[in-house]
Structure 1
């Protein structure tokens, strides 16, 4: 309990607001960029990584490499919260839904496949955008034993962060939406009383939690079935929140102990407005807008004027300076 609470504690650091700076990158920047650059988008589950990755990919001619270990498997699109074809908006996705549900997919396997995907994307003069919540896989790729990845590519790290109490409420509601969308029937089709929940797609949150329910469902009356179903859904919510805390802890370790230079994007206000008409405006102002400017500067080394009243009154003269101040 103490460890989880510690991992979920957030240091309040003022963030820079780039939102009033309206830039048309199509007009400002030279479309030629250095090819050997990679963007890595990180964050706990439910923080909007997929949405932001597609916003960035459509802006910078990027292709997305999935680094979520369970989303790499075929099946369970609801339980694993896979981005739909409609949501992909035509952006090519790699390592998404490609594996047999029973196959092993180790960090080494991910590194091999992701490295090939990066080379392939760069070979088409497009931007590789690595996105997902499996931070151990990302760490294995970026900080390999001989640091080959860092020697070949320049990396830009974006971290989408949401206050844990706000995120926990959101992921709880998201599980309820998954249930409404058919989660239980989806997982039931995969149920096998002899299954190994430590392998393949069955490791996904939302699968082992329903084991007891499926085993006893045929032998229980309606009241007991509903009770067990409620318990399984509650456990899924709790395990999702615990996962978010572990993911945050790993990100903080990569930043604080390993010195990864991350741009933290605080999306808390967006999630507080979730479901309202102001949410999309807040997303563009607080998340998508600043992220596009950070990536734009990373790719094209541009400099643009920003308002003087940013970061608690601190004056800056360029987005580059502002980004440096926001990186911690």
Structure 2
């Protein structure tokens, strides 16, 4: 119940931060403490058969905590912010009705923010001919040239999209083509009032330490069989042009397998692109309001930080602090 409106808002806990910062481990601890069900706020973990390259949580790591929007789609079924919003609109009340706390965990900034503040986007269905034209332009002149085309009309969107993210670049161009509005202007025009009783926790850390963790994670992915995972997807007939296979790790390894890019060069490219992605994630979340930020660079401070996080969540949702240590 809010004092301003007298309307009851559903509780929603959210944990954000860049890739490799440690969201998964903390999310399980918090979920067990506050009886949460986790909704994945990651645009790639929704796909089946894409486990290693997405650093997907395992059943063992879940420790019995219910997870949603993981392993729900085949790689050729395109996921989008609209689908994520629709899924969360069903999941949040369903989880609440079971007496559990809905908990979004992830690093896909637009997806998470669109749910937190119930974004409404201008209607822009599709123009397949326009999309094909942009794809042909990218094929002929390179993805950077198409990225430059977006930067000329919507520098903010171009700044948060990697030049290789052709699907989202084309969509941003298409939105401008169909509506006359840029995607960034639509985002800026949103009413940042949440339909939820919202508690946002953010994790960050020293940039170099984060980059070291990213590179170590990629090395582990390779040891776990990332190349075989991508090869298996391609062997099943999935096209490299799919939204799923344009994801970090999949695009670079596909270049190795299909174009003969030496594996060492593909890995260097993947590490570089993932560092850039983490930087864009941090930039996105820094512009979100009401996030309680925790710098987890110093692991020795984490128990103290964890106690503070518990207190913030308990205070926000009116949960007795001693309760969440009994689980």
Across the aligned residues of Structure 1 and Structure 2, the Cα RMSD in angstroms comes to 2.5
* Aligned equivalents of 1:196, 1:160: Cα separation in 2: 35
**1:268 maps to which residue?**
297
Q: Does structure 1 residue 211 correspond to structure 2 residue 254?
A: yes
* Aligned equivalents of 1:96, 1:192: Cα separation in 2: 23
* Aligned equivalents of 1:199, 1:82: Cα separation in 2: 19
Distance 1:105 1:143, change over 3 A: same
**2:99 maps to which residue?**
125
Structure 1: runs of 5+ lacking an equivalent:
1-33, 218-226, 255-259, 271-280, 305-328
Q: SS at 2:39's partner residue?
A: strand
Deviation, structure 1 residue 290: 2.3
Deviation, structure 1 residue 145: 4.2
After the TM superposition, which residues 88-103 of structure 1 pair with which residues of structure 2 at under 5 Å, given as runs?
Answer: 88-103=62-77
* Aligned equivalents of 1:89, 1:35: Cα separation in 2: 29
Q: Does structure 1 residue 247 correspond to structure 2 residue 281?
A: yes
Deviation, structure 1 residue 199: 2.9
Deviation, structure 1 residue 301: 6.5
**2:17 maps to which residue?**
43
Question: Is 2:118–2:195's contact at 8 Å kept on the other side of the alignment?
Answer: no
Structure 2: runs of 5+ lacking an equivalent:
1-7, 121-189, 323-327
Question: Is 2:116–2:194's contact at 8 Å kept on the other side of the alignment?
Answer: no
Q: Does structure 1 residue 143 correspond to structure 2 residue 143?
A: no
Q: Normalising to structure 2: TM-score of the pair?
A: 0.69
**2:31 maps to which residue?**
57
- Larger RCO: 1 or 2 (CA < 8 Å, sep 6+): 1
**1:16 maps to which residue?**
none
Aligned residues: 246
Question: Is 1:191–1:214's contact at 8 Å kept on the other side of the alignment?
Answer: no
Deviation, structure 1 residue 285: 3.3
- What are the superposed Cα offsets for residues 37-67 of structure 1, whole Å, 9 maximum, x if unpaired? 1111110111111111111000010100001
Q: Does structure 1 residue 164 correspond to structure 2 residue 201?
A: no
Deviation, structure 1 residue 235: 1.0
Q: Which of 271, 290, 295 pairs up with 2:313?
A: 295
* Aligned equivalents of 1:303, 1:127: Cα separation in 2: 15
Greater mean alpha carbon deviation, residues 134-143 or residues 197-206? 197-206
* Aligned equivalents of 1:151, 1:186: Cα separation in 2: 39
Q: Which of 277, 284, 297 pairs up with 2:303?
A: 284
Q: Normalising to structure 1: TM-score of the pair?
A: 0.69
- What are the superposed Cα offsets for residues 244-301 of structure 1, whole Å, 9 maximum, x if unpaired? 00101101122xxxxx11100111112xxxxxxxxxx654333x33222211111226
* Aligned equivalents of 1:64, 1:121: Cα separation in 2: 9
- What are the superposed Cα offsets for residues 176-219 of structure 1, whole Å, 9 maximum, x if unpaired? 111111111111111269865453321221111022321255xx
Bigger proportion of residues as helix: 2
Question: Is 2:252–2:267's contact at 8 Å kept on the other side of the alignment?
Answer: yes
Distance 1:207 1:231, change over 3 A: same
* Aligned equivalents of 2:249, 2:279: Cα separation in 1: 17
Deviation, structure 1 residue 144: 2.5
Q: SS at 1:190's partner residue?
A: helix
